[in-house]
Amino acid sequence: MSYHNGEKRSQVVRLLEGGTRQKLMRGEVPRAFEPIREAYSLATTPPRLESPWPEVCAYRLAHVLLRHKTVDCERIQQLFEEASRLEALGPWPALYRMALLQFLGRKEELPALWQQAFARRSSGSTSPDSTSAGLRSNEVMALELMACASGNFSSLPQLNGLGLPLDVEDHPIWTHLFGGEDCAWRMYGPSPHLMQIAYPHSAARAELESIRAARPQGFFFILSLERPAQFWYQDRWLGFPKIGLLELLVAALRIRKYDNASLAEALDVSDGALRVRKVELHNLLRAQFPTIGEVPPYYLDIFGIVQHGAG
Q: pLDDT tens digit string along 193-203?
A: 999 888 888 88
Count of the separate structural domains present in the chain: 2
- What confidence tens digit (pLDDT) does each residue in 101-118 have? 999 999 898 888 888 887
Q: Are residues 138 and 239 in the same domain?
A: no
Q: Specify the pTM.
A: 0.80
Q: Check whether residue 256 and residue 165 sit in a common domain.
A: no
Instruction: Check whether residue 119 and residue 24 sit in a common domain.
Output: yes
Q: What pLDDT band is residue 2 in, cutting at 50, 70 and 90? A: very low
Is residue 228 domain-shared with residue 168, that is, in the same domain? no
CA 49 to each of CA 5, 86, 107, 186, 194: distance values in angstroms, whole numbers, following the listed order: 9, 13, 33, 16, 12
Q: Which of 125, 154, 176 corresponds to the end of one domain?
A: 176
Q: Report how far residue 45's alpha carbon sits from residue 47's, in angstroms, rounded to the nearest whole number.
A: 6
165 plus 280 within the same structural domain: no
Please provide the average confidence, as pLDDT, over all residues in the chain: 83
Domain co-membership, 243 together with 292: yes
Question: If we measure between CA atoms, which residue out of 52, 46, 299 comes closest to residue 192?
Answer: 299
For 218, the domain range is 185-307
pLDDT of residue 170: 46
- Which residues touch 101 (CB under 8 Å, ≥6 apart)? 77, 107, 109, 110, 113
Pair 250, 283 in one domain: yes
User: Contact at 8 Å (CB) between 65 and 71?
Assistant: yes
Question: Residue 113: what pLDDT?
Answer: 85
Continuous segment of H or E residues that includes residue 304: strand 302-307
CB of 15 within 8 A of CB of 22? no
Q: 169: pLDDT confidence band, cut at 50, 70 and 90?
A: very low
Alpha-carbon gap, residue 40 to 81, rounded angstroms:
14
Residue 271's pLDDT is 94
Tell me: do 25 and 172 sit in the same domain. Answer: yes
Co-location of 95 and 157 in the same domain: yes
Nearest to 251 by CA among 298, 292, 290: 298
Strands laid side by side in the 230-232 sheet: 185-188, 302-307, 219-223, 230-232, 237-239
What pLDDT sits at residue 131?
Answer: 41
pLDDT at res. 122: 59
**Residue 301 pLDDT greater than 90, yes or no:** yes
